[in-house]
Amino acid sequence: MSTTQSERLRGLLEPLVSAADLDLEEIEVSRAGRRRMLRIIVDSDEGATLDACAELSRAISAKLDETDAMGEDEYVLEVSSPGADRPLTEHRHYVRAIGRLVKLQLTEGGDVVARILAVDDEGLDLEVPGVKGRKPTARRVAFAEIAKARVEIEFSRKDKKEEEA
């Protein structure tokens, strides 16, 4: 997608997304056979519900129909929340991941798998799980030290309510 089209779509859709109390995370236009696919990724601090995505999809569809932002060719519109494997790239992504296990690839090499305890303007306070019965350790990582970051999927994590019981 050209930068001009991307900027135009962002300018057109950002007010609709903001009005729904969501953040516009990504706009992606790709080919699916003869059709184009317009994928809009939205999120919020509380997450993007299926109902919110459906309502926003209707509003975006109506807006795109009244403009020529997508041209005359057919396209498929998809509005969804980010997947669990979405990279953490913005400060707000890290804030939303507080309490979650993340895998960080460091700029100087090596990986760290740890739970985010707190986020500030400079970096993250982490709890690195103990290995072989050892206690977890605290670690501080500055944003400048992070090359890539993703939330790790936890299948056996206890819910906060279970932990308190």
95, 119 Cβ separation under 8 angstroms? yes
pLDDT at 82: 86
pLDDT at 20: 92
pLDDT at 159: 53
What is the 3-class SS of 80-148, one letter each residue?
ECCCCCCECCCHHHHHHCCCCEEEEEECCCCEEEEEEEEECCCEEEEEECCCCCCCCEEEEEEHHHEEE
pLDDT at 45: 83
In the chain (165 residues long), the average pLDDT of successive 10-residue segments reads: 73 92 89 84 88 94 87 87 85 92 93 94 93 89 95 73 46
Q: Of 50, 59, 3, 55, which Cα lies nearest the Cα of 29?
A: 3
pLDDT at 3: 57
pLDDT at 68: 79
pLDDT at 153: 86
Strands 23-32 and 123-128: unpaired
Q: Is the pTM for the entire model greater than 0.75? A: no
